A and B are shown apart, each in its own frame.
Chain A
């Protein structure tokens, strides 16, 4: 029976329908019912994503769980969905993180809680849509629509400077995506269809490829964000409410790199080869320079925000290093680079989400994010200190946590290209350890700094549940990344075999 369900449609529309129910049926008057309904919806969505994972045959590379219906016939835009080994884990991650956010805001939102929960559910559906869409315009619609709930979340429930931050966030990302739209229209016109996989088969000359490359680059680099278009991220993170930060870091940033994988690498590989060195340099700047910037932060959230940029630099490094490796016939290393990048995407979703939740736990109690207001928290909150430690270590890339696997694979792959790339990349292990652990030391250790810290209470059961889930995931994928690799392997192999070959001439194309 489960095979016949339109599972991807359900993943998009169940949370949105749940949000509609919350707004219209339960609303403000009945906060308890609202929360239960939101939890139920999020849990159902997560369960659906597991059903999808179960129905997915990961020994094959091609798109599965396909749905395809005519949507706008006059423009030949189709409502077509499908997943491969790259997008499915991201859908599961999205559904899981939404569930986590809903649990973590239990009884915790004072202002218009029903709207808050509904916004997250709508966003969950739209983000699932981004990862599941195989029609370029459908992808774009989801990609843009998703900005609106996030805009409202930061703007309504954010910190003191929220208006500036949320406008910057919205306008920055919208600016990027209009170029994406132009590129998609151009490609759609060339292929006579907006099917993303038909676009992969297109022969494009070198100059056009370069233009399309830049259009994609503006859109996706802003979303990742890569240096030097990262400046919206620290603002948005600092002002966003905890849940907003979690989704922003765990899922939204992944959309940029997902865009690289889904659009840029397969459609304009020749331009990507040409620009690979530039991209590698930009990634290394993100890794090294932003790492130093993070070291200088006095605001915990800002520190984690910068650390996110640095870690995402690893993802782009892994993706673009593969071109240099393929040029030198290091196919295995190229696969390792891309797989490392993908694992880093998933693992960073857990770790950054968890770190923002940890800061949220402290902020709820102290209403401050400044590191200097803390000190000696471990004395009052030992359980919390343990979880925070796990995530801090994972952020620093300690072996045995999921943070280590991806970074290690990317560094290993970059060694095949140049010692120096690997050396600069390796710097992150030192820098991340420095800024994360130094923050940990100042916040958690030492004597109890002031009366407020002395009055702290340890985490309650709601917070414990959330942190236990994430801690388990970080450890499980740290020790046993093979499962994730297995899901992704055929798709990555296919990406290397077919999509990364030259698109300048019909030779070497494969179906």
Chain B
């Protein structure tokens, strides 16, 4: 099918691949310890991608490469969010990796490779392409985590991540193979057609279980969450910031393509599973986060809780709910970047300060940043008028509308539990007396990036529509 080869729909991916090769070669010939040129080129290509993506907004759905590739508003919006958060995370990373001998070209290249993997994931039209994208993303991330070779924690985290990620991929692939065995196709739209015509028999349900487990593993949702705190904790903070935010957006794309685009007709089989996983995550994440003293671990359990709220949106299974879930995940990515940005900000002079008690005295000696971090924490807790409130509101609203009032009440009650540990951070910064100034970074770029990121939480909190409209448009165009 020669006519289905349409290079225009993968123009962004081609651009990134070419850019990657160029940057790789340029980096080889660099003597600069600071890797300034590599950094500029990387950020430049992300910005260019953003501009290309922004041109494609409002695009109508196009399929190509024998239906293996899809480009639609949904993928465009997700990709824009990916570029933006990746750009921000690299800004945060620069001062951090400079002090830790991580300032190597690989850091930027691997990040770009993972971005490419994520782009493939959200634009995939078949299960196999999704898997390809996922592996490209995962392998780059394993390598990123392992980049700090002299650190025991990081090496341990990398091995754990690799084994667990491999296991998850195995589950996913096994599920896909079962589905392929029954339906005879891996094209998403063909599977959907098959399921509208035929009942989802036991074999398909069986395959679905594996796919759901694989996806839950990738998100780190309870009860498949055990790896997540260890890896968030062990990885260098700038990489934690990256893996906790950007890939989540792509994973949402994958979850939607697999679960809804393929299995919408069998929704009664997978929505209860997702609902249970979501509720478990909300409960477990919020409770375990209460007793953490390490800020990174606290944020990783809070990540589990947030994933729970987000999965609640997916479990409802209407277009409205998907847009709410998308809204949630994008907002979460922005918030969590700021959250780990705090840790990067504290970890200067080659030392890592990760405990909540290390924030002591922040309010006294650095009131502006203490205020910024308070905004992050309160936004994560879901207090209006910060941005974190609105996606939560939407999820709760849709739960109530779709007659899941009990789930809404439980989820909302646990957001009160969540408030406790977020406030603990605020308490440490403002209320505990301290005589010495906490350790903070002196990098001006980092300070500006953090302040901008935190101000975004307020600005979008007052105008959440600016993001939410795009999320809704992503799903409006699908039908």
Contact = CB atoms under 8 A, between A and B. Distances in A.
B416 A163 contact: no
Interface string A116-159: 00000000000000000000010011001101100110011000
Interface stretch (B146-154, B156-164, B200-208, B392-400): B392-400
B468 A178 contact: no
A74 interface: yes
A175 B412 CA distance: 9
B82 to A, nearest CB: 22
From B396, B427, B463, residue with most partner A Cβ within 10 Å: B427
Nearest to A114: B367
A148 B383 contact: yes
Interface in A465-497: none
A174 B413 CA distance: 10
B431 A162 contact: yes
Contacts of A74: 465, 468-469, 472
Given A74-B472, A166-B431, A189-B400, A181 B412 contact: yes
B323 to A, nearest CB: 9
B416 A174 contact: yes
A72 B465 CA distance: 5
Contacts of B427: 155, 163, 167
B57 to A, nearest CB: 17
A188 B254 CA distance: 33
Contact of A175 (B416, B431, B472): B416
Interface string B62-82: 000000000000000000000
A152 B430 contact: yes
Contacts of A422: none
B384 A186 contact: no
A140 B416 contact: no
Contact of B383 (A71, A145, A182, A188): A145
A115 B472 CA distance: 40
Given A167-B423, A174-B419, A189 B401 contact: yes
B450 interface: no
A170 interface: yes
Given A72-B468, A144-B383, A156 B413 contact: no
A166 B423 CA distance: 10
B63 to A, nearest CB: 28
A412 to B, nearest CB: 41
Contact of B389 (A141, A179, A182): A141
Interface in B448-479: 463-465, 468-469, 472
B420 A171 contact: yes
A182 B430 contact: no
A2 interface: no
A127 to B, nearest CB: 14
Contact of B412 (A144, A182, A188): A182
A179 B400 CA distance: 12
A137 B393 contact: yes
Contacts of B426: 151, 155
B298 interface: no
A179 B383 CA distance: 14
B396 A182 contact: yes
A398 interface: no
B363 A141 contact: no
B385 interface: yes
B408 interface: yes
B409 interface: yes
Contacts of B376: none
Interface string B373-406: 0100010000111000110011011001100010
B384 A145 contact: yes
Interface residues of A, number: 34
B465 A148 contact: no
A72 B464 contact: yes
Interface string A176-215: 0011011001101100000000000000000000000000
Nearest to B469: A74
Contacts of A156: 363, 430-431
Interface residues of B, number: 36
A507 interface: no
Interface string A55-97: 0000000000000000111110000000000000000000000
B415 interface: yes
Contacts of A185: 393, 396-397, 400
Given A141-B389, A145-B384, A148-B378, A170 B423 contact: yes
A178 B415 contact: yes
B416 A178 contact: yes
Nearest to B392: A181
Contact of A147 (B367, B383, B389): B383
Contacts of B472: 74
Interface in B413-429: 413, 415-416, 419-420, 423, 426-427
From B374, B409, B416, residue with most partner A Cβ within 10 Å: B416
Given A115-B367, A178-B412, A178-B416, A145 B430 contact: no
A299 to B, nearest CB: 21
Contacts of B363: 156
A170 B431 CA distance: 14
Contacts of B415: 178
B315 to A, nearest CB: 18
A151 B430 CA distance: 11
Contacts of B423: 151, 167, 170-171
Contacts of A72: 390, 463-465, 468
Contacts of B413: 175, 178
A141 B367 CA distance: 25
Contact of B408 (A144, A152, A182): A182
Nearest to B415: A178
A384 to B, nearest CB: 32
B27 to A, nearest CB: 42
Contacts of A115: 367
Contacts of A145: 383-385
Nearest to A211: B405
A160 to B, nearest CB: 11
Nearest to A189: B401
Given A147-B383, A174-B416, A182 B400 contact: yes
Contacts of A112: 367
Contact of B465 (A73, A141, A151): A73
A380 B423 CA distance: 44
Contacts of A147: 383
Contacts of A182: 396, 400, 405, 408-409, 412
Interface of B: 363, 367, 374, 378, 383-385, 389-390, 393-394, 396-397, 400-401, 405, 408-409, 412-413, 415-416, 419-420, 423, 426-427, 430-432, 463-465, 468-469, 472
24 contacts: A72-B464, A72-B465, A73-B465, A73-B469, A74-B468, A74-B469, A74-B472, A144-B383, A144-B384, A151-B426, A155-B430, A156-B363, A163-B427, A170-B419, A171-B416, A171-B419, A174-B383, A178-B412, A178-B416, A182-B396, A182-B400, A182-B409, A185-B397, A189-B397
Q: 7 closest pairs, A vs B, by CB?
A: A141-B384, A155-B431, A178-B412, A185-B397, A175-B416, A72-B465, A163-B431
Given A175-B413, A178-B413, 18 more contacts: A71-B465, A137-B393, A141-B384, A144-B384, A145-B383, A147-B383, A151-B426, A156-B363, A156-B430, A163-B432, A166-B431, A167-B420, A167-B423, A175-B416, A179-B412, A182-B409, A185-B396, A189-B401
